[in-house]
Chain A
Amino acid sequence: MTAFSAVFLAGLALLAAAAVTDLLGGVRWRRLLPVPYLAGAAGSACVAVAGAAALAGQTVALRDNGLLGPGTTGPAADPLSGLFLLIAFGAAVPVSAALASWAPGPRGPRRRGLAAAYALALGAVAVVLTATDVFTLLFAWESVTLAFYLLAGFRRERPRRPASALITLVFGRVSGVCLLAGLLLLASRAHSLALTSLAHVPPGALRSAAEVLLLLGFVIKVGLVPFQVWLPRGYAAATGPARAIMAGVAVNVGFYGLWRTLALLGPPPAGVTGVLLVLAGVTAVLGIAQAAVQPGLQRVIAYSSVENSGLILAGFGVALVGAAIPNRGLLAVGLLAATLQIVAHTIAKSLLFTASAQIQAADGTDNLDDLRGTIRRRPWSGTGLAIGSLTLAGLPPTAGFVSEWFLLESLMQQFRVPGLGDRLVLAITGAAVALTAGFAGVTFVRLVGLVVLGKPEPTGAPGPRDYGPLGRGGVVLLSVACLAVAALTPLEIRVIAAGLAPVVPSGAVMSALGSPWVLQPVFAGFSILSPSWLWIVMPALFAVVILGAWALSGRRLLRVRRVQPWLSATAGVSGRDSYTAFGYANPTRRVLAAALHTQVEVRDIGGAQHQPLSEADALADEVGAEVLPDEPGREDGVAAPGPHIWYRSDVIEVVEQYLYRPVRRPFLRLVRLAKRLQSGRLDAYLAYMLIALIALLAVVTAVH
């Protein structure tokens, strides 16, 4: 066993130790609560180091030879696995540190199991990324699904959590079933369980069908329309920074699966690529449309995951088109764009969920209208939230800007594609991605402008403070990564080129580096970008402007007289007097009413004292916020007549409403029908087993 294999094994062992510590120790001693997470952090660091070693070409393999079952080989990391190990577990380290800081806090876990689920998730992700045979892959995949179920349903006493966890489990199982079917089809033809042997299956209907099933299984995991309905629910239902594990770290298994499928089996049949591209565009638009109008912070970030899945899959679609032609440059630029977006998304999503977890824990509410000016009360989390938002909005000089630029550039290469159908589909997807980028700006400006920088409400008690040193370190590390990765993009591209070697020759990807600091979308002479230069020029310009202003103002720039913000010299209003997050999203609700099915309700309630907020109450309960009734008004004890008009504007999830709701009833009827089989009688079950055995024997005999 080589040194780095030992490191990898040590990482897995540390994760197992973390799970054991949590299950045995429980939450009795608060001082020991961070221990499992610290062990997890150490384990993640080991795994990330092993991944980096695999990227560099070192051998990282755990020889197994049938230990887990006949035909299985132990986990081993090739450069593609190493790349994803580095990305996922590199982000898992600061998140684990934040978890260690959050767990002893007032909103931490009240019973054992959270750290165990977290360790299970990380361990399963590591095994999926390094699986070399079908059985290990499927086993680890189901473990990931189980871990998601446990994480989403941890706070099962809250309303709606059990339902969200169940939906997460259902979709996870569906994806597992698809993977099972596809892999078994291939394995049956290849007569071996090793993944590398699946590449040798002769092309034909079976191989295409299996590839489609594999792709289906993986895109369910990452949340492509129409399978994205579980993502926001599942992510929002989890607790604390565990959301970052789910949405930032673990979601990469889906992308890894897609990359590996492309590496093993090549491009899918022609129509599938077009459908994938269009669906990716639709996913991006729907995701950001919903994110722009959600009233809860966690939901905004969760829907942004849907949007990013769409973007990454759009890049992947370009790569598929390039693989089908075949055009190596197109393949390279598509994969490069998608991988860059994966990196940016992993870091930023982990950062966002980590920061928002502490904000929610400290402020006790998730409602954007109640979270104002967080940068003043929780400076570390607030700054983290701001930097994560800027990254996902694609603003220079963050990593998100580079990745979105690459993505749009890759979609713009559609003129190199010979077929009209492909060109049309690429153009449509490009338009959708551009629209998404615009609305991403709107969404994250709402977060940064109102939640981070807004005018803080005068609240009573200051509440618990920000993260402790561990959590701050985690947030700082992730924020610095968001910015540094952009500055060091050439290095990042080299790393990615090494990682994508199994799929596309690294020379093709490296041609994205036009000159040491200047990037181009693989094809020369099209356009260039230099984020490193941006990182030098932008601060320099900023400094020049500040110096100029200081000089021209006669050195009076810092003499500031502070007065109240201008509000037309009003005498004061009851309630909020400036734009709420809800009001800010109003134009989006109206403009995208087709995608959101905005509904407005205006009702005369004639002076009733307190109207319970039905949907908003429920949502607030779901995320654990307090619900305050509307204040009636006067302080002199005479209750003024209450509000006279009830106004509500709401959006609905289109896919869920029109695709899943109609099939719910017949599906449940089917389930009730199938329940008849579960009669509870032993002789009935024995009869089923006999029938199944006879059928199997008949099939086997007929085949041979």
Chain B
Amino acid sequence: MMWAFRGLRNGVLTTRWPARPDGYAASTRGPATVLAPASQPSPPPSQNGQASLAGLCPAGAISQDGQGAVALDQGRCIQCGRCVAARPDLFGWQEGPGSAALSRTGLVVPPVAETPERLAGVRADLRARTRALRRSVHLRHVDAGSDGTEEWEMLALLNPVYDIHRLGMFFTASPRHADVLLVTGAGARGMIEPLRTTYDGMPHPKVVIAVGTDAVGGGLPGSSYAAAGGIGGIVPVDVWLPGSPPSPFSILYAVLLGLGRLPAQAEGGGTR
């Protein structure tokens, strides 16, 4: 009885996001991004700027092509902050929860000139597949070699601040009941078979979300004798969510993106 009254003390703690904006969500730090790419020209490669720029990133996310255009693959960004600290004119943090993308190449900033038809095709296919999952969806998580933080961020979705039950989402234990598969971790080789078994055990239609930089691009463990460099080669991934770890708002954004439940303006104008 005493617990029932304790629960009423602090009123409503739940965020209204995505229906209403949330201050913490807007200030969520996402992966690093390239600032205002056209504002200033980068030093040409002959001035050993290429080596130093690419060498800034311990995970190999930064690349510079022949013309000196800098590109940052957010799918490899481990949020260490070195590039932002070294070149605050060129790199900054992407704020907000909208870091997920529907294609792997969509995670590269500045956005590659992707044919809008292909992206629209991917989006339409996903919408058609998830038509039955709009209002209520069950999530199944598989840990394929994560460091433990992504699981904390996913469990945070169940606390009263985020409360995914209000959005009709539930975590389930059996893959037979699951619609969405959330995979974390760099694809430890010991988990390849169990991950495939879980994926096969889920009925169609299903959506696979790679949660975290480790799952998207391998992160620091990378590709070695023990890790597969991300889960992209193990199961077909529908939504790529970078972040080390991604915040709960980002995970929520990714799930809603996968289900086609985001309002149009929140989807960033269709470039991801």
Contacts and interface: CB of A to CB of B under 8 A. Distances in A.
Which of A561, A563, A571 lies at the interface centre, i.e. has the most chain B CB atoms within 10 A of its CB? A563
Interface string B157-184: 0000000000000000011100000000
Contacts of A571: 193
Interface residues of B, number: 11
Which of A561, A563, A569 lies at the interface centre, i.e. has the most chain B CB atoms within 10 A of its CB? A569
Contacts of A658: none
Given A563-B200, A563-B201, A569 B193 contact: yes
Contacts of B194: 569
A610 B234 CA distance: 43
Interface in A537-567: 561, 563-564, 566
A566 B193 contact: no
Which of B176, B195, B201 lies at the interface centre, i.e. has the most chain A CB atoms within 10 A of its CB? B201
A357 to B, nearest CB: 38
Contacts of A566: 174-176, 201
Interface of B: 174-176, 193-195, 197-198, 200-201, 203
Contacts of B201: 563-564, 566
Contacts of A564: 197, 201
A556 to B, nearest CB: 10
14 contacts: A563-B200, A563-B201, A564-B197, A564-B201, A566-B174, A566-B175, A566-B176, A566-B201, A569-B193, A569-B194, A569-B195, A569-B197, A569-B198, A571-B193
| Chain B contact residues, majority secondary structure | helix
A569 B195 CA distance: 8
B201 to A, nearest CB: 5
A564 B175 CA distance: 12
A577 to B, nearest CB: 14
Closest 9 CB pairs of A and B: A569-B194, A569-B197, A563-B200, A566-B201, A563-B201, A569-B198, A566-B174, A566-B175, A566-B176
Contacts of A561: 203
Interface string A568-583: 0101000000000000
Contacts of B200: 563
A155 to B, nearest CB: 48
Contacts of A563: 200-201
Contacts of B198: 569
A690 B159 CA distance: 98
Contacts of B197: 564, 569
A561 B174 CA distance: 17
A571 B196 CA distance: 13
Contacts of B176: 566
A571 B194 CA distance: 8
A466 to B, nearest CB: 33
A183 B28 CA distance: 96
A180 B121 CA distance: 94
Nearest to B195: A569
Nearest to A566: B201
Interface in A106-121: none
Contacts of B175: 566
A561 B176 CA distance: 12
B219 to A, nearest CB: 23
B171 to A, nearest CB: 16
A258 B79 CA distance: 87
Interface in A569-608: 569, 571
Nearest to A570: B194
Contacts of B195: 569
A159 to B, nearest CB: 46
Nearest to A559: B204
Given A563-B201, A566-B175, A566-B176, 12 more contacts: A561-B203, A563-B200, A564-B197, A564-B201, A566-B174, A566-B201, A569-B193, A569-B194, A569-B195, A569-B197, A569-B198, A571-B193
A561 B193 CA distance: 19
A552 to B, nearest CB: 12
Contacts of B193: 569, 571
A566 B140 CA distance: 14
A563 B194 CA distance: 13
A572 B40 CA distance: 59
A465 to B, nearest CB: 34
Nearest to B196: A569
Nearest to A564: B197
A153 B195 CA distance: 58
A304 B225 CA distance: 59
Which of B174, B193, B197, B200 lies at the interface centre, i.e. has the most chain A CB atoms within 10 A of its CB? B197
B106 to A, nearest CB: 30
A571 to B, nearest CB: 8
A569 B198 CA distance: 7
A319 B250 CA distance: 74
Nearest to B194: A569
B183 to A, nearest CB: 13
A319 B174 CA distance: 53
B15 to A, nearest CB: 34
B235 to A, nearest CB: 13
A564 B194 CA distance: 12
A566 B173 CA distance: 11
A573 to B, nearest CB: 14
A217 B197 CA distance: 63
A18 B197 CA distance: 60
Nearest to A569: B194
A569 B192 CA distance: 10
Nearest to A568: B194
B156 to A, nearest CB: 24
A506 to B, nearest CB: 56
A313 B187 CA distance: 66
Nearest to B193: A569
Nearest to B175: A566
A566 B203 CA distance: 13
A641 to B, nearest CB: 25
A640 to B, nearest CB: 22
A566 B200 CA distance: 10
A563 B202 CA distance: 10
B142 to A, nearest CB: 8
A114 to B, nearest CB: 51
A561 B203 CA distance: 8
A564 B193 CA distance: 13
A572 to B, nearest CB: 11
A564 B201 CA distance: 8
A111 to B, nearest CB: 55
A171 to B, nearest CB: 52
Which of A564, A566, A571 lies at the interface centre, i.e. has the most chain B CB atoms within 10 A of its CB? A566
A434 to B, nearest CB: 34
B145 to A, nearest CB: 14
A566 B177 CA distance: 12
Nearest to B197: A569
